[in-house]
Amino acid sequence: MIELFKDRFDLLSFAACSAPTDGLILEFGVASGASINYLATTLALRGRRVHGFDSFGGLPEPWADYPAGHFACEPPAVVSNVELVIGLFADTIPEFLAQHADPAALIHVDCDLYASTMTVLDLLTPRIVPGTFIALDEYFIVCEHEQKAFHDWLLACGRTCKKLARSIEQLVVVME
């Protein structure tokens, strides 16, 4: 049975408390920093490094009712255990992975777009192991993007997951 949470923050708290105590904590799509700062200050993640990836240039292409460039902003102020990785996912993830050998414990996907989500999942495939938690931020809205990319990735790499929890828009899974 899938647990239901009232909002994305309660769902992220559940994911942070349930994820493995070792491994990388990653967020893709930082924007204003609200979710990464929340994650980094949850009791389960205090003292652990949380890595946030974003170009801060906004959407690279239109999404839903938003034009390309929407959500552009300056990098936000973040709490002390957050490290921002600034640039396009395709450019920053390979270099980051070359410097960090650990598997992923928790991945928060807030990429909005199909292509961005698929880039993240494809590049992280070797680090997504059984027990990795993945939180998908727009899973139940604009389903042709994050939801479709996640399902296409699962099929392409022959992976399976268990759906654990959801809110109105978000889903948390654990990889099998």
Q: What is the pLDDT along the chain (176 residues), one digit of tens a residue?
A: 899 999 999 999 999 999 999 999 999 999 999 999 999 999 889 889 999 999 999 988 888 888 998 989 999 999 999 999 999 999 999 999 999 999 999 999 999 999 999 999 999 999 999 999 999 999 998 788 999 999 999 999 999 999 999 999 999 999 99
Output the CA–CA distances (angstroms, integers) from residue 49 to 22, 66, 110, 126, in the order listed.
Answer: 11, 32, 19, 20
28 CA to centre of own chain: 5
Residue 1 has a pLDDT of: 86
pLDDT of residue 61: 87
Alpha helices in 48-87 (DSSP H): none
Name the β-bridge partners of 175: 161
Residue-level pLDDT at 127: 98
**Which residue reads 């973040």 in tokens?**
78
CA dihedral in degrees (131, 135, 139, 141; nearest 10)?
Answer: 170
Look at the domain 3-175 and name its fold. Answer: Rossmann fold (3.40.50)
Output the pLDDT for position 141: 86
d(CA 153, CA 117): 9
22: alpha, beta or left, given left = phi > 0 and alpha = psi -120 to 50? Answer: beta
Residue 64: predicted pLDDT: 85
The model's pTM: 0.96
105, 21 Cβ separation under 8 angstroms = yes
Model pLDDT, residue 59: 85
Where exactly are the structural domains of the chain? Answer: 3-175
